[in-house]
């Protein structure tokens, strides 16, 4: 456990920001956010979502990064060092477990995205003139065990190949290449969407609030998504924070990460809905929006061949920079706490994640009738992680920082690197206090009760 001397660090501030934004920006932004916004009324939902990001997401993000930076440890070590309590160490353990579970099903969807790059190159989308054909094609691909398990393996291997090279040479270097590329592709797609005739209706859908859609349920979906999209509640941001130096300004870094995550989700929304409306497709189709509807949109759009390829490259990059942060949580634990060598840990746990991912992949074919609490395996692990483990982790992290470690101690550590903010804009710090002590625990608790069906 005293490997701290050789513990790796980010090479630069921007390296940390891009890696953390890479973790945040993922399938959640490009796949999930547009479809949940589409199902819940567009602009009004987005407004509620932005409020959730500001009052819950940002304060919890600061808390997580701070725990990591203060202790320079993985989530288990971080909780243990600050509390000396086995109970709290096991909360960190829950995070490591969540990392495993999320990566196992996340990589299945990311694998589809990779497979769709190949389909886009092959020109498969050109035959889809309506969603039915495209949906059937998707079902036939995911029904093929070799296709789905094969791409799961490819995607996990890609993730492993980055984490294998460590924090600076692997994660930071990959993020510095992939994040700018992601932003460029997204901007190209947004401009294409906006220049399509009839795109205005898509913009209107995103920008003109229809308050009738804002139900209690929609607010809870927005709050839950705020967690997932910022990679909170399982120690990913804590782990990345643990490679930061004490001179770095956490509130400012957190603000930049939240800004990038939010703006990228909004731009993805614009790119997708302008194209969906311009081609007169349905915006509220749920999870099938990306894999069923978009290929049809590309088949109808001038230049759709190339934009289809670009879109699925974008989605795969976004998923990859998130997947590496999930794997890194597990690796950091085994390296810090168990004294494993990084290379061995990556090979072992990458392979185990692949094995755990197989039942998720098979949920779309041979195991589709296998149900746990009425859900297939994929939906079950997704529900378990996104609706239970992440909010529970977020709840415990905010309680821990505000009440167990203690707000004043946390504040003293937060000051390092952020002296200017403390001197000039102390009200921001006081606001954080109110949010992390009261708002975050109460609101997250409500989301959790709702997830388990009590509310
Ligand atoms: N934030 C990622 C997304 O929006 O796709 C998902 C995620 C990554 C969640 C890493 C949790 C995590 F630790």
| Location of structure tokens 């109460």 | 442
> Residue 286's closest CA among 26, 30, 25, 38?
38
| 264 alpha carbon – ligand 1 mean position (Å) | 14
Indicate which atom in ligand 1 lies nearest the CA of residue 29: 4
Which residue among 19, 28, 61 is best mutated to probe the pocket of ligand 1, counting the most ligand atoms within 8 A of its Cβ? 28
> Residue 377's closest CA among 367, 390, 391, 387?
367
Question: Under CATH, which architecture does the 2-451 domain have?
Answer: Orthogonal Bundle (1.10)
What is the predicted pLDDT for the residue at 5? Answer: 54
Ligand 1 site residues, Cβ closer than 6 angstroms:
23-24, 26-29, 102, 228-229, 231, 234, 236, 322, 325-326
Backbone dihedral region of 123: left (phi > 0), alpha (psi from -120 to 50 degrees) or beta? left
Indicate which atom in ligand 1 lies nearest the CA of residue 261: 4
Indicate which atom in ligand 1 lies nearest the CA of residue 234: 13
Backbone dihedral region of 374: left (phi > 0), alpha (psi from -120 to 50 degrees) or beta? left
Over its length of 455 residues, how does the chain's per-residue pLDDT go in tens digits? 444 557 899 999 999 999 999 999 999 999 899 888 888 888 899 999 999 999 999 999 999 999 999 999 999 999 999 999 999 999 999 999 999 899 999 999 999 999 999 999 999 998 887 777 888 999 999 999 999 999 999 999 999 999 999 999 999 999 999 999 999 999 999 999 999 999 999 999 888 888 888 888 888 888 889 989 999 999 999 999 999 999 999 999 999 999 999 999 999 999 999 999 988 888 777 777 899 889 998 998 889 999 999 999 999 999 999 999 999 999 999 999 999 999 999 999 999 999 999 999 999 999 988 999 889 999 899 888 888 899 899 999 999 999 999 999 999 999 999 998 888 888 888 899 999 999 999 999 988 888 887 76
Which residue among 95, 239, 325 is best mutated to probe the pocket of ligand 1, counting the most ligand atoms within 8 A of its Cβ? 325
| 403 alpha carbon – ligand 1 mean position (Å) | 26
Residue closest via CA to ligand 1's atom 9 equals 231
> Residue 285's closest CA among 135, 133, 451?
135
What is the predicted pLDDT for the residue at 19? Answer: 98
| 106 alpha carbon – ligand 1 mean position (Å) | 9
| 365 alpha carbon – ligand 1 mean position (Å) | 26
Please state the φ and ψ torsions of residue 376, each to the nearest 5 degrees: -75, 170
| Location of structure tokens 């909010």 | 391
80 CB contacts (<8 Å, ≥6 apart)?
A: 73, 86, 88, 89, 92
| 215 alpha carbon – ligand 1 mean position (Å) | 25
As beta bridge partners, residue 371 has 376
Residue closest via CA to ligand 1's atom 11 equals 231
What is the predicted pLDDT for the residue at 1? Answer: 45
| 317 alpha carbon – ligand 1 mean position (Å) | 13
| 130 alpha carbon – ligand 1 mean position (Å) | 32
- Exposure letters 360-394 (e unless 16+ CB within 10 A, then b): bbbbbeebeeeeeeeebbbbbbbebbbbebbbbbb
> Residue 206's closest CA among 27, 30, 44?
44
Q: How far apart are the first and last CA of the chain?
A: 43
Domain regions of the chain by residue span: 2-451
Distance CA(417)–CA(338), nearest Å, equals: 31
This prediction's pTM: 0.94
DSSP letter assigned to residue 376:
E
Indicate which atom in ligand 1 lies nearest the CA of residue 319: 5
CA 355 remoteness from chain centre: 22
């Amino acid at each position: 456990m005293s490997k701290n001397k050789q513990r790796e660090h980010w090479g630069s501030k921007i390296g940390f920001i891009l890696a953390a934004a890479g973790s945040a920006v993922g399938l959640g932004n490009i796949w999930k956010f547009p479809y949940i916004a589409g199902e819940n009324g567009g602009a009004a939902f987005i407004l509620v979502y932005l409020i959730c990001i500001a009052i819950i997401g940002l304060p919890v993000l600061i808390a997580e990064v701070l725990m990591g930076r203060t202790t320079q440890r993985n989530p288990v070590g971080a909780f243990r060092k600050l509390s000396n309590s086995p109970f709290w160490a096991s909360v960190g353990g829950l995070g490591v477990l969540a990392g495993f579970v999320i990566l196992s099903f996340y990589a299945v969807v990311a694998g589809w995205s990779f497979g769709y790059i190949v389909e886009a190159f092959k020109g498969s989308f050109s035959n889809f003139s309506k969603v039915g054909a495209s949906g059937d094609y998707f079902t036939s691909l995911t029904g093929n065990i070799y296709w789905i398990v094969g791409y799961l393996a490819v995607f996990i291997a890609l993730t492993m190949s980055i984490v294998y090279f460590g924090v600076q040479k692997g994660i930071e270097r990959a993020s510095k290449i992939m994040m700018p590329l992601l932003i460029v592709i997204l901007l190209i797609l947004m401009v294409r969407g906006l220049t399509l005739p009839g795109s205005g209706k898509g913009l209107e859908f995103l920008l003109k609030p229809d308050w009738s859609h804002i139900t209690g349920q929609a607010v809870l979906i927005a709050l839950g998504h705020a967690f997932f999209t910022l990679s909170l509640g399982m120690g990913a941001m804590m782990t990345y924070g643990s490679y930061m130096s004490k001179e770095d300004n956490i509130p400012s870094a957190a603000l930049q990460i939240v800004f990038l995550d939010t703006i990228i989700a909004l731009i993805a929304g614009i790119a997708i809905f302008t194209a969906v409306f311009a081609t007169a497709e349905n915006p509220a189709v749920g999870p099938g929006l990306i894999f069923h509807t978009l290929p049809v949109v590309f088949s109808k759009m001038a230049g759709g061949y190339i934009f289809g390829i670009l879109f699925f490259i974008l989605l795969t990059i976004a998923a990859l920079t998130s997947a590496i942060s999930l794997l890194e949580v597990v690796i950091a634990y085994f390296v810090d706490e168990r004294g494993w060598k990084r290379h061995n840990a990556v090979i072992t746990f990458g392979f185990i994640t692949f094995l755990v991912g197989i039942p998720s992949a098979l949920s779309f074919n041979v195991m589709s009738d296998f149900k746990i609490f009425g859900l297939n395996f994929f939906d079950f692990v997704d529900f378990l992680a996104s609706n239970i483990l992440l909010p529970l982790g977020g709840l415990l992290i905010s309680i821990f920082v505000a009440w167990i470690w203690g707000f004043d101690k946390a504040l003293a550590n937060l000051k390092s690197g952020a002296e200017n903010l403390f001197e000039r804009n102390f009200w921001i710090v006081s606001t954080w206090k109110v949010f992390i002590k009261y708002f975050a625990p109460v609101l997250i608790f409500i989301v959790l009760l709702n997830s388990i069906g009590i509310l």
